[in-house]
A and B are shown apart, each in its own frame.
Chain A
Amino acid sequence: MGYYLRLWWHWARLSLGRESLFRGNAWLRLVGHALWLGTAWAFFAALYLHVPAIAGWRPAEVWLLIAVNELAQLLYSMFVGQGVLWIPDLIWQGELDSILLKPAAPLFTLSVGRMRLYNAPSLALPMALGGYALHTLGLQPSWGQWLWFGLLLALGVAARYALTLAVVSLAFWVTRVYAMPALLAELFRLAGYPEGIFRGAMRALFTWGVPVLVVANFPTTALLGRAGWQPGAEAALAVGFWCVVALALWRAGLRRYAAVGG
Protein backbone atom coordinates (compact mmCIF):
# COMPACT_ATOMS: atom_id res chain seq x y z
CA MET A 1 0.00 0.00 0.00
CA GLY A 2 2.84 2.38 0.90
CA TYR A 3 4.46 1.60 -2.44
CA TYR A 4 1.33 2.66 -4.34
CA LEU A 5 0.97 5.82 -2.26
CA ARG A 6 4.57 6.75 -3.08
CA LEU A 7 3.91 6.08 -6.78
CA TRP A 8 0.77 8.20 -6.67
CA TRP A 9 2.66 11.05 -4.99
CA HIS A 10 5.43 10.81 -7.58
CA TRP A 11 2.98 11.06 -10.50
CA ALA A 12 1.12 13.89 -8.80
CA ARG A 13 4.37 15.88 -8.50
CA LEU A 14 5.25 15.08 -12.11
CA SER A 15 1.84 16.30 -13.28
CA LEU A 16 2.17 19.57 -11.37
CA GLY A 17 5.78 20.06 -12.45
CA ARG A 18 4.93 19.55 -16.12
CA GLU A 19 2.07 22.00 -16.03
CA SER A 20 4.00 24.66 -14.11
CA LEU A 21 5.97 25.15 -17.34
CA PHE A 22 2.78 26.30 -19.08
CA ARG A 23 1.10 28.66 -16.63
CA GLY A 24 -0.83 30.41 -19.39
CA ASN A 25 -2.66 27.15 -20.07
CA ALA A 26 -3.81 26.99 -16.46
CA TRP A 27 -5.38 30.44 -16.75
CA LEU A 28 -7.04 29.53 -20.01
CA ARG A 29 -8.46 26.37 -18.44
CA LEU A 30 -9.81 28.42 -15.57
CA VAL A 31 -11.50 30.71 -18.09
CA GLY A 32 -12.85 27.66 -19.94
CA HIS A 33 -14.34 26.17 -16.78
CA ALA A 34 -15.77 29.56 -15.80
CA LEU A 35 -17.39 29.84 -19.23
CA TRP A 36 -18.78 26.31 -18.96
CA LEU A 37 -20.21 27.00 -15.51
CA GLY A 38 -21.47 30.40 -16.68
CA THR A 39 -23.20 28.84 -19.70
CA ALA A 40 -24.96 26.24 -17.52
CA TRP A 41 -26.00 29.00 -15.11
CA ALA A 42 -27.24 31.27 -17.94
CA PHE A 43 -29.29 28.41 -19.39
CA PHE A 44 -31.19 27.74 -16.18
CA ALA A 45 -31.30 31.40 -15.11
CA ALA A 46 -33.07 32.24 -18.40
CA LEU A 47 -35.58 29.43 -17.81
CA TYR A 48 -36.29 30.59 -14.25
CA LEU A 49 -37.37 33.94 -15.69
CA HIS A 50 -40.42 32.07 -17.00
CA VAL A 51 -41.07 29.31 -14.43
CA PRO A 52 -40.78 29.28 -10.62
CA ALA A 53 -39.45 25.70 -10.43
CA ILE A 54 -38.16 22.96 -12.73
CA ALA A 55 -39.45 19.52 -11.78
CA GLY A 56 -39.75 20.77 -8.21
CA TRP A 57 -36.24 22.27 -8.10
CA ARG A 58 -35.96 25.92 -7.11
CA PRO A 59 -33.21 28.13 -8.68
CA ALA A 60 -30.69 27.90 -5.84
CA GLU A 61 -31.13 24.11 -5.71
CA VAL A 62 -30.21 23.93 -9.39
CA TRP A 63 -27.18 26.22 -8.82
CA LEU A 64 -26.07 23.68 -6.19
CA LEU A 65 -26.62 20.83 -8.65
CA ILE A 66 -24.58 22.63 -11.35
CA ALA A 67 -21.78 23.21 -8.83
CA VAL A 68 -21.73 19.59 -7.64
CA ASN A 69 -21.77 18.35 -11.23
CA GLU A 70 -18.80 20.54 -12.14
CA LEU A 71 -17.00 19.39 -8.99
CA ALA A 72 -17.55 15.74 -9.93
CA GLN A 73 -16.42 16.30 -13.53
CA LEU A 74 -13.28 18.11 -12.36
CA LEU A 75 -12.36 15.45 -9.80
CA TYR A 76 -12.87 12.75 -12.42
CA SER A 77 -10.75 14.53 -15.03
CA MET A 78 -8.03 15.42 -12.49
CA PHE A 79 -7.44 11.96 -11.08
CA VAL A 80 -8.47 9.21 -13.51
CA GLY A 81 -10.27 10.59 -16.57
CA GLN A 82 -7.24 11.24 -18.74
CA GLY A 83 -5.45 7.97 -17.94
CA VAL A 84 -8.36 5.70 -18.74
CA LEU A 85 -8.84 7.30 -22.17
CA TRP A 86 -5.21 6.51 -22.94
CA ILE A 87 -5.90 2.75 -22.96
CA PRO A 88 -7.26 2.35 -26.55
CA ASP A 89 -4.22 4.10 -28.08
CA LEU A 90 -1.84 1.81 -26.18
CA ILE A 91 -3.74 -1.27 -27.28
CA TRP A 92 -3.91 -0.30 -30.96
CA GLN A 93 -0.26 0.71 -31.08
CA GLY A 94 0.83 -2.47 -29.30
CA GLU A 95 2.42 -0.42 -26.54
CA LEU A 96 0.41 -1.75 -23.64
CA ASP A 97 3.21 -4.20 -22.87
CA SER A 98 5.36 -1.26 -21.76
CA ILE A 99 2.83 -0.80 -18.95
CA LEU A 100 2.36 -4.52 -18.27
CA LEU A 101 6.11 -4.94 -17.70
CA LYS A 102 6.23 -2.25 -15.00
CA PRO A 103 6.34 -3.38 -11.35
CA ALA A 104 2.87 -2.09 -10.47
CA ALA A 105 -0.72 -3.12 -11.16
CA PRO A 106 -1.35 -2.10 -14.81
CA LEU A 107 -4.78 -0.67 -14.15
CA PHE A 108 -3.39 1.53 -11.36
CA THR A 109 -0.55 2.77 -13.59
CA LEU A 110 -2.91 3.46 -16.48
CA SER A 111 -5.59 5.13 -14.41
CA VAL A 112 -3.56 7.50 -12.25
CA GLY A 113 -0.35 7.75 -14.28
CA ARG A 114 -1.76 10.67 -16.25
CA MET A 115 -3.30 12.90 -13.62
CA ARG A 116 -4.36 16.43 -14.55
CA LEU A 117 -3.87 18.12 -11.21
CA TYR A 118 -3.46 21.44 -13.00
CA ASN A 119 -7.24 21.66 -13.01
CA ALA A 120 -7.13 22.10 -9.22
CA PRO A 121 -7.50 25.94 -9.30
CA SER A 122 -10.75 25.47 -11.23
CA LEU A 123 -12.22 23.68 -8.19
CA ALA A 124 -12.66 27.11 -6.61
CA LEU A 125 -15.39 27.95 -9.16
CA PRO A 126 -17.94 25.22 -8.30
CA MET A 127 -17.09 25.59 -4.61
CA ALA A 128 -17.93 29.30 -4.77
CA LEU A 129 -21.18 28.66 -6.66
CA GLY A 130 -22.11 25.81 -4.30
CA GLY A 131 -21.39 28.01 -1.27
CA TYR A 132 -23.53 30.77 -2.71
CA ALA A 133 -26.37 28.30 -3.39
CA LEU A 134 -26.25 26.89 0.15
CA HIS A 135 -26.22 30.42 1.57
CA THR A 136 -29.22 31.42 -0.57
CA LEU A 137 -31.11 28.33 0.54
CA GLY A 138 -30.22 29.06 4.17
CA LEU A 139 -28.74 25.57 4.55
CA GLN A 140 -25.91 24.60 6.87
CA PRO A 141 -25.35 20.89 6.27
CA SER A 142 -24.27 18.88 9.31
CA TRP A 143 -21.01 16.91 9.42
CA GLY A 144 -23.02 13.77 8.76
CA GLN A 145 -24.53 15.33 5.64
CA TRP A 146 -21.10 16.42 4.42
CA LEU A 147 -19.80 12.88 4.99
CA TRP A 148 -22.76 11.38 3.14
CA PHE A 149 -22.24 13.94 0.36
CA GLY A 150 -18.52 13.03 0.10
CA LEU A 151 -19.33 9.33 -0.09
CA LEU A 152 -21.99 9.83 -2.78
CA LEU A 153 -19.66 12.13 -4.74
CA ALA A 154 -16.92 9.48 -4.63
CA LEU A 155 -19.44 6.90 -5.85
CA GLY A 156 -20.41 9.27 -8.67
CA VAL A 157 -16.80 9.63 -9.82
CA ALA A 158 -16.33 5.86 -9.48
CA ALA A 159 -19.45 5.22 -11.59
CA ARG A 160 -18.10 7.30 -14.43
CA TYR A 161 -14.69 5.67 -14.17
CA ALA A 162 -16.10 2.13 -14.19
CA LEU A 163 -18.36 2.76 -17.18
CA THR A 164 -15.56 4.42 -19.13
CA LEU A 165 -13.17 1.57 -18.33
CA ALA A 166 -15.76 -0.93 -19.58
CA VAL A 167 -16.12 1.01 -22.84
CA VAL A 168 -12.41 1.56 -23.51
CA SER A 169 -11.71 -2.13 -22.76
CA LEU A 170 -13.71 -2.89 -25.91
CA ALA A 171 -10.62 -1.65 -27.77
CA PHE A 172 -9.17 -5.16 -27.23
CA TRP A 173 -11.80 -6.41 -29.69
CA VAL A 174 -12.88 -3.40 -31.77
CA THR A 175 -10.42 -1.40 -33.86
CA ARG A 176 -12.00 2.00 -33.29
CA VAL A 177 -13.98 3.08 -30.23
CA TYR A 178 -13.27 6.84 -30.44
CA ALA A 179 -16.94 7.77 -30.71
CA MET A 180 -17.91 5.74 -27.64
CA PRO A 181 -15.94 7.72 -25.02
CA ALA A 182 -17.22 10.90 -26.70
CA LEU A 183 -20.75 9.50 -26.42
CA LEU A 184 -20.18 8.77 -22.73
CA ALA A 185 -18.83 12.28 -22.17
CA GLU A 186 -21.99 13.74 -23.73
CA LEU A 187 -24.20 11.42 -21.69
CA PHE A 188 -22.49 12.45 -18.46
CA ARG A 189 -23.19 16.09 -19.31
CA LEU A 190 -26.82 15.20 -18.63
CA ALA A 191 -25.78 14.87 -14.98
CA GLY A 192 -26.35 18.61 -14.58
CA TYR A 193 -30.13 18.33 -15.13
CA PRO A 194 -32.49 17.92 -12.14
CA GLU A 195 -33.46 14.29 -11.60
CA GLY A 196 -37.16 15.21 -11.62
CA ILE A 197 -37.13 15.43 -15.44
CA PHE A 198 -36.08 11.76 -15.65
CA ARG A 199 -39.15 9.68 -14.91
CA GLY A 200 -40.06 5.99 -15.06
CA ALA A 201 -37.93 4.03 -17.50
CA MET A 202 -35.69 7.05 -18.11
CA ARG A 203 -34.86 7.29 -14.42
CA ALA A 204 -34.00 3.58 -14.32
CA LEU A 205 -31.89 3.92 -17.49
CA PHE A 206 -29.94 6.88 -16.15
CA THR A 207 -29.42 5.29 -12.74
CA TRP A 208 -28.45 1.76 -13.77
CA GLY A 209 -27.70 1.70 -17.51
CA VAL A 210 -25.72 4.91 -17.72
CA PRO A 211 -25.43 6.05 -14.08
CA VAL A 212 -25.72 9.75 -14.87
CA LEU A 213 -27.94 10.57 -11.90
CA VAL A 214 -25.41 8.99 -9.55
CA VAL A 215 -22.78 11.60 -10.49
CA ALA A 216 -24.33 14.87 -9.30
CA ASN A 217 -28.01 14.49 -8.40
CA PHE A 218 -27.52 11.96 -5.60
CA PRO A 219 -24.72 13.93 -3.83
CA THR A 220 -26.72 17.16 -4.21
CA THR A 221 -29.75 15.62 -2.52
CA ALA A 222 -27.46 14.76 0.42
CA LEU A 223 -26.60 18.45 0.87
CA LEU A 224 -30.25 19.42 0.45
CA GLY A 225 -31.16 16.98 3.22
CA ARG A 226 -33.36 14.88 0.92
CA ALA A 227 -31.14 11.81 0.63
CA GLY A 228 -32.09 8.85 2.77
CA TRP A 229 -30.46 5.47 2.36
CA GLN A 230 -31.98 4.89 -1.10
CA PRO A 231 -29.63 7.03 -3.26
CA GLY A 232 -26.63 5.52 -1.49
CA ALA A 233 -27.88 1.98 -2.06
CA GLU A 234 -28.72 2.69 -5.71
CA ALA A 235 -25.34 4.36 -6.29
CA ALA A 236 -23.41 1.54 -4.59
CA LEU A 237 -25.26 -1.11 -6.60
CA ALA A 238 -24.77 0.76 -9.90
CA VAL A 239 -21.07 1.29 -9.22
CA GLY A 240 -20.63 -2.32 -8.06
CA PHE A 241 -22.33 -3.63 -11.19
CA TRP A 242 -20.23 -1.50 -13.55
CA CYS A 243 -17.00 -2.31 -11.68
CA VAL A 244 -17.68 -6.04 -12.12
CA VAL A 245 -18.44 -5.58 -15.83
CA ALA A 246 -15.41 -3.30 -16.40
CA LEU A 247 -12.97 -5.62 -14.62
CA ALA A 248 -14.35 -8.69 -16.43
CA LEU A 249 -13.89 -6.94 -19.80
CA TRP A 250 -10.45 -5.64 -18.87
CA ARG A 251 -9.20 -9.09 -17.75
CA ALA A 252 -10.72 -10.88 -20.73
CA GLY A 253 -9.15 -8.28 -23.02
CA LEU A 254 -5.74 -8.65 -21.41
CA ARG A 255 -5.86 -12.42 -22.00
CA ARG A 256 -6.31 -11.90 -25.75
CA TYR A 257 -3.88 -8.97 -26.02
CA ALA A 258 -0.91 -9.63 -28.29
CA ALA A 259 1.60 -6.82 -28.73
CA VAL A 260 3.40 -6.70 -32.00
CA GLY A 261 6.14 -4.18 -31.56
CA GLY A 262 9.57 -3.46 -32.88
Chain B
Amino acid sequence: MSWKPYVTTARLALREAATYRLNHFLSFVVAAVPLIALLLLWNTLLGPQQRLAGFTRGEMLTYFILTRWLYELTGPVVWWDIAYEIREGDLIFHLLRPEWYSGYHFALIIGSKLPYALVGLAVAAPFAVSVGAGWVWPQGVAAWAAFALSVVLAVALAYQFTFLASLTAFWLEDNKAMNLLMDFVVPLAAGALLPLDVFPSAVATALRALPFAQLLYFPALVYLGRVDPGGWWAGVAQQVGWLVALLLINGWVWRRGLRRFRAVGG
Protein backbone atom coordinates (compact mmCIF):
# COMPACT_ATOMS: atom_id res chain seq x y z
CA MET B 1 0.00 0.00 0.00
CA SER B 2 1.36 3.44 -0.97
CA TRP B 3 1.29 6.21 1.67
CA LYS B 4 1.68 8.94 -0.93
CA PRO B 5 -2.04 9.66 -1.49
CA TYR B 6 -2.61 9.99 2.25
CA VAL B 7 0.39 12.25 2.78
CA THR B 8 -0.88 14.39 -0.11
CA THR B 9 -4.38 14.47 1.41
CA ALA B 10 -2.94 15.58 4.76
CA ARG B 11 -0.80 18.22 3.05
CA LEU B 12 -3.78 19.61 1.12
CA ALA B 13 -5.93 19.67 4.28
CA LEU B 14 -3.09 21.42 6.11
CA ARG B 15 -2.77 24.01 3.35
CA GLU B 16 -6.51 24.66 3.38
CA ALA B 17 -6.61 24.93 7.17
CA ALA B 18 -3.57 27.22 7.20
CA THR B 19 -5.44 29.65 4.94
CA TYR B 20 -7.86 30.45 7.78
CA ARG B 21 -5.37 31.31 10.51
CA LEU B 22 -7.54 34.01 12.07
CA ASN B 23 -10.45 31.59 12.21
CA HIS B 24 -8.23 29.06 14.01
CA PHE B 25 -7.01 31.74 16.37
CA LEU B 26 -10.56 32.78 17.27
CA SER B 27 -11.69 29.17 17.57
CA PHE B 28 -8.90 28.40 19.98
CA VAL B 29 -9.60 31.57 21.95
CA VAL B 30 -13.12 30.16 22.33
CA ALA B 31 -11.72 26.84 23.52
CA ALA B 32 -9.36 28.60 25.94
CA VAL B 33 -12.01 30.73 27.66
CA PRO B 34 -12.82 28.14 30.37
CA LEU B 35 -9.17 28.33 31.34
CA ILE B 36 -9.77 31.82 32.74
CA ALA B 37 -12.25 30.48 35.30
CA LEU B 38 -10.22 27.33 35.95
CA LEU B 39 -7.06 29.32 36.67
CA LEU B 40 -8.96 31.71 38.94
CA LEU B 41 -10.60 28.76 40.67
CA TRP B 42 -7.37 26.88 41.27
CA ASN B 43 -5.56 30.02 42.37
CA THR B 44 -8.33 30.40 44.96
CA LEU B 45 -8.20 26.76 46.04
CA LEU B 46 -4.42 26.37 46.13
CA GLY B 47 -1.87 28.62 47.70
CA PRO B 48 1.74 28.38 46.49
CA GLN B 49 2.65 25.68 49.06
CA GLN B 50 -0.54 23.67 49.14
CA ARG B 51 -1.37 20.39 47.46
CA LEU B 52 -4.67 18.95 46.31
CA ALA B 53 -5.03 15.26 45.47
CA GLY B 54 -1.23 15.09 45.37
CA PHE B 55 -0.87 17.93 42.84
CA THR B 56 0.97 21.16 43.63
CA ARG B 57 -0.48 24.45 42.37
CA GLY B 58 2.02 24.49 39.49
CA GLU B 59 1.28 20.90 38.50
CA MET B 60 -2.46 21.47 38.62
CA LEU B 61 -2.36 24.64 36.50
CA THR B 62 0.08 23.02 34.06
CA TYR B 63 -2.27 20.02 33.83
CA PHE B 64 -5.27 22.18 32.94
CA ILE B 65 -3.51 24.38 30.38
CA LEU B 66 -1.78 21.39 28.77
CA THR B 67 -4.93 19.25 28.61
CA ARG B 68 -6.99 22.14 27.22
CA TRP B 69 -4.52 22.35 24.33
CA LEU B 70 -4.00 18.61 24.00
CA TYR B 71 -7.69 17.70 23.99
CA GLU B 72 -8.14 19.56 20.71
CA LEU B 73 -5.78 16.93 19.24
CA THR B 74 -6.72 13.85 21.23
CA GLY B 75 -10.42 14.46 21.89
CA PRO B 76 -12.65 12.10 19.87
CA VAL B 77 -15.62 13.61 18.02
CA VAL B 78 -18.30 12.50 15.62
CA TRP B 79 -16.57 13.47 12.36
CA TRP B 80 -19.25 15.25 10.39
CA ASP B 81 -17.77 14.44 6.95
CA ILE B 82 -17.87 10.67 7.51
CA ALA B 83 -21.42 10.72 8.91
CA TYR B 84 -22.57 12.96 6.06
CA GLU B 85 -20.99 10.77 3.37
CA ILE B 86 -22.65 7.66 4.79
CA ARG B 87 -26.10 9.25 5.15
CA GLU B 88 -26.07 11.09 1.84
CA GLY B 89 -24.63 8.18 -0.13
CA ASP B 90 -21.45 10.05 -1.12
CA LEU B 91 -19.50 7.19 0.41
CA ILE B 92 -19.96 5.38 -2.91
CA PHE B 93 -17.43 7.72 -4.57
CA HIS B 94 -14.81 6.65 -2.03
CA LEU B 95 -15.66 2.98 -2.41
CA LEU B 96 -15.04 3.24 -6.15
CA ARG B 97 -11.54 4.64 -5.60
CA PRO B 98 -8.49 2.53 -4.72
CA GLU B 99 -8.27 4.08 -1.26
CA TRP B 100 -8.38 3.12 2.39
CA TYR B 101 -11.39 5.13 3.59
CA SER B 102 -10.36 5.30 7.23
CA GLY B 103 -6.81 6.32 6.26
CA TYR B 104 -8.14 9.06 3.97
CA HIS B 105 -10.11 10.70 6.80
CA PHE B 106 -7.27 10.22 9.26
CA ALA B 107 -5.03 12.15 6.86
CA LEU B 108 -7.69 14.88 6.53
CA ILE B 109 -8.06 15.20 10.30
CA ILE B 110 -4.32 15.34 10.90
CA GLY B 111 -3.90 17.94 8.16
CA SER B 112 -6.67 20.14 9.48
CA LYS B 113 -5.71 19.85 13.15
CA LEU B 114 -2.00 20.58 12.88
CA PRO B 115 -2.29 24.33 12.12
CA TYR B 116 -5.00 24.51 14.77
CA ALA B 117 -2.66 22.95 17.31
CA LEU B 118 0.14 25.37 16.41
CA VAL B 119 -2.14 28.39 16.73
CA GLY B 120 -3.44 26.86 19.95
CA LEU B 121 0.08 26.97 21.38
CA ALA B 122 0.13 30.73 20.84
CA VAL B 123 -3.19 31.12 22.66
CA ALA B 124 -2.16 28.82 25.53
CA ALA B 125 1.25 30.49 25.95
CA PRO B 126 0.02 33.57 27.92
CA PHE B 127 -1.83 31.26 30.31
CA ALA B 128 1.36 29.23 30.79
CA VAL B 129 3.34 32.43 31.43
CA SER B 130 0.75 33.45 34.05
CA VAL B 131 1.62 30.32 36.05
CA GLY B 132 5.16 31.67 36.44
CA ALA B 133 7.90 29.58 38.04
CA GLY B 134 5.36 26.90 38.97
CA TRP B 135 4.99 25.81 35.34
CA VAL B 136 6.25 22.25 34.91
CA TRP B 137 8.60 21.23 32.07
CA PRO B 138 9.57 17.64 31.27
CA GLN B 139 13.07 16.87 32.57
CA GLY B 140 15.39 15.93 29.72
CA VAL B 141 15.15 14.57 26.19
CA ALA B 142 13.92 11.15 27.32
CA ALA B 143 10.97 12.73 29.14
CA TRP B 144 10.07 14.78 26.06
CA ALA B 145 10.31 11.67 23.86
CA ALA B 146 8.16 9.67 26.28
CA PHE B 147 5.55 12.42 26.25
CA ALA B 148 5.66 12.78 22.45
CA LEU B 149 5.15 9.05 21.90
CA SER B 150 2.23 8.94 24.34
CA VAL B 151 0.62 11.86 22.45
CA VAL B 152 1.13 10.22 19.05
CA LEU B 153 -0.52 7.05 20.31
CA ALA B 154 -3.32 9.09 21.92
CA VAL B 155 -3.99 10.87 18.59
CA ALA B 156 -4.17 7.50 16.80
CA LEU B 157 -6.43 6.10 19.51
CA ALA B 158 -8.68 9.19 19.43
CA TYR B 159 -9.10 8.77 15.69
CA GLN B 160 -10.24 5.18 16.13
CA PHE B 161 -12.92 6.40 18.56
CA THR B 162 -13.83 9.18 16.11
CA PHE B 163 -14.14 6.67 13.27
CA LEU B 164 -16.22 4.27 15.37
CA ALA B 165 -18.57 7.03 16.56
CA SER B 166 -18.95 8.33 12.99
CA LEU B 167 -19.70 4.85 11.61
CA THR B 168 -22.87 4.80 13.72
CA ALA B 169 -24.31 6.87 10.85
CA PHE B 170 -24.88 3.52 9.10
CA TRP B 171 -27.58 2.79 11.68
CA LEU B 172 -28.58 6.13 13.30
CA GLU B 173 -30.56 8.94 11.70
CA ASP B 174 -28.66 11.66 13.53
CA ASN B 175 -25.61 12.08 15.76
CA LYS B 176 -27.26 13.60 18.81
CA ALA B 177 -26.84 10.62 21.13
CA MET B 178 -23.21 10.08 20.06
CA ASN B 179 -22.51 13.79 20.45
CA LEU B 180 -23.83 13.65 24.01
CA LEU B 181 -21.42 10.82 24.73
CA MET B 182 -18.52 12.68 23.14
CA ASP B 183 -19.35 16.03 24.77
CA PHE B 184 -19.97 14.91 28.34
CA VAL B 185 -18.96 11.35 29.15
CA VAL B 186 -15.68 11.11 27.24
CA PRO B 187 -14.15 14.41 28.54
CA LEU B 188 -15.01 13.38 32.11
CA ALA B 189 -13.51 9.91 31.67
CA ALA B 190 -10.46 11.26 29.80
CA GLY B 191 -9.52 13.66 32.60
CA ALA B 192 -10.38 16.83 30.70
CA LEU B 193 -12.67 18.05 33.48
CA LEU B 194 -10.38 17.19 36.39
CA PRO B 195 -7.32 14.97 36.91
CA LEU B 196 -8.76 11.55 37.71
CA ASP B 197 -6.92 11.59 41.07
CA VAL B 198 -9.36 14.26 42.32
CA PHE B 199 -12.31 11.85 42.13
CA PRO B 200 -13.03 9.32 44.91
CA SER B 201 -10.50 6.50 44.67
CA ALA B 202 -13.01 3.84 43.48
CA VAL B 203 -14.25 6.14 40.69
CA ALA B 204 -10.69 7.11 39.76
CA THR B 205 -9.62 3.45 39.57
CA ALA B 206 -12.58 2.60 37.34
CA LEU B 207 -11.91 5.58 35.05
CA ARG B 208 -8.20 4.75 34.76
CA ALA B 209 -9.13 1.28 33.51
CA LEU B 210 -11.17 2.73 30.62
CA PRO B 211 -9.45 3.52 27.31
CA PHE B 212 -10.47 7.20 27.52
CA ALA B 213 -7.86 7.84 30.22
CA GLN B 214 -5.18 6.99 27.64
CA LEU B 215 -6.32 9.89 25.46
CA LEU B 216 -5.47 12.71 27.84
CA TYR B 217 -4.84 11.79 31.46
CA PHE B 218 -1.95 9.44 30.72
CA PRO B 219 -0.04 11.78 28.32
CA ALA B 220 -0.57 14.68 30.76
CA LEU B 221 0.86 12.65 33.66
CA VAL B 222 3.83 11.67 31.47
CA TYR B 223 4.44 15.36 30.72
CA LEU B 224 4.29 16.22 34.42
CA GLY B 225 6.81 13.48 35.21
CA ARG B 226 4.35 11.66 37.48
CA VAL B 227 4.79 8.32 35.69
CA ASP B 228 7.80 6.11 36.44
CA PRO B 229 9.41 4.05 33.61
CA GLY B 230 7.42 0.93 34.54
CA GLY B 231 4.20 2.93 34.55
CA TRP B 232 5.09 4.45 31.19
CA TRP B 233 5.63 1.05 29.57
CA ALA B 234 2.35 -0.19 31.08
CA GLY B 235 0.52 2.94 29.83
CA VAL B 236 1.95 2.67 26.33
CA ALA B 237 1.09 -1.04 26.24
CA GLN B 238 -2.47 -0.12 27.19
CA GLN B 239 -2.59 2.50 24.43
CA VAL B 240 -1.32 0.01 21.84
CA GLY B 241 -3.67 -2.70 23.13
CA TRP B 242 -6.73 -0.44 22.87
CA LEU B 243 -5.56 0.77 19.48
CA VAL B 244 -5.34 -2.77 18.10
CA ALA B 245 -8.69 -3.70 19.69
CA LEU B 246 -10.39 -0.65 18.18
CA LEU B 247 -8.83 -1.30 14.76
CA LEU B 248 -10.35 -4.79 14.84
CA ILE B 249 -13.72 -3.54 16.10
CA ASN B 250 -13.81 -0.76 13.50
CA GLY B 251 -12.98 -3.21 10.72
CA TRP B 252 -15.88 -5.41 11.81
CA VAL B 253 -18.30 -2.45 12.17
CA TRP B 254 -17.19 -1.07 8.77
CA ARG B 255 -17.92 -4.39 7.04
CA ARG B 256 -21.31 -4.68 8.79
CA GLY B 257 -22.13 -1.08 7.88
CA LEU B 258 -21.22 -1.58 4.23
CA ARG B 259 -23.70 -4.43 4.06
CA ARG B 260 -26.45 -1.96 5.05
CA PHE B 261 -25.22 0.85 2.82
CA ARG B 262 -27.34 1.71 -0.21
CA ALA B 263 -26.28 4.60 -2.45
CA VAL B 264 -29.10 5.81 -4.67
CA GLY B 265 -27.96 8.76 -6.71
CA GLY B 266 -28.52 10.47 -10.00
Contact = CB atoms under 8 A, between A and B. Distances in A.
A197 B41 contact: yes
B8 interface: no
Given A28-B176, A46-B198, A190 B44 contact: no
B188 interface: yes
Query: Taking chain B's interface residues, is the majority helix, strand, or loop, or is none over half, making it mixed?
Result: helix
Nearest to B24: A179
A43 B198 CA distance: 9
B229 interface: no
Interface in B65-86: none
Interface residues of B, number: 29
A147 interface: no
B199 interface: yes
B33 A190 contact: yes
B92 to A, nearest CB: 29
B45 A36 contact: no
B52 interface: yes
Interface in B30-79: 30-31, 33-34, 36-37, 40-41, 43-45, 52-53
Scoring A31, A47, A196 by chain B CB atoms within 10 A of each residue's CB, the highest score goes to A47
A50 B40 CA distance: 17
Contacts of A179: 23, 26-27, 29-30
A225 B53 CA distance: 33
B40 A198 contact: yes
Contacts of A38: 184
- How large, as a class, is the contact surface on chain A? 20 to 34
B229 to A, nearest CB: 29
A187 B33 contact: yes
A43 B38 CA distance: 11
B30 A197 contact: no
Interface in B160-193: 176-177, 180, 183-185, 188, 193
Contact of A196 (B29, B44, B188, B194): B44
Scoring B23, B27, B30, B34 by chain A CB atoms within 10 A of each residue's CB, the highest score goes to B30
Nearest to B40: A197
A49 B198 contact: yes
10 contacts: A35-B180, A36-B184, A50-B52, A50-B53, A189-B33, A189-B34, A190-B34, A197-B40, A198-B40, A202-B40
Interface of A: 25, 28, 31-32, 35-36, 38-39, 42-43, 46-47, 49-51, 54-55, 176, 179-180, 182-183, 186-187, 189-190, 193, 196-199, 202
Given A50-B198, A51-B52, A197-B37, 15 more contacts: A28-B176, A28-B177, A35-B184, A46-B194, A46-B198, A47-B194, A50-B52, A55-B44, A179-B23, A179-B29, A186-B31, A186-B34, A189-B33, A189-B34, A196-B44
Instruction: Give the 8 A-B CB pairs with smallest separation, nearest first.
Output: A179-B26, A186-B33, A35-B184, A197-B40, A190-B37, A197-B44, A46-B198, A182-B30
Interface of B: 23, 26-27, 29-31, 33-34, 36-37, 40-41, 43-45, 52-53, 176-177, 180, 183-185, 188, 193-194, 198-200
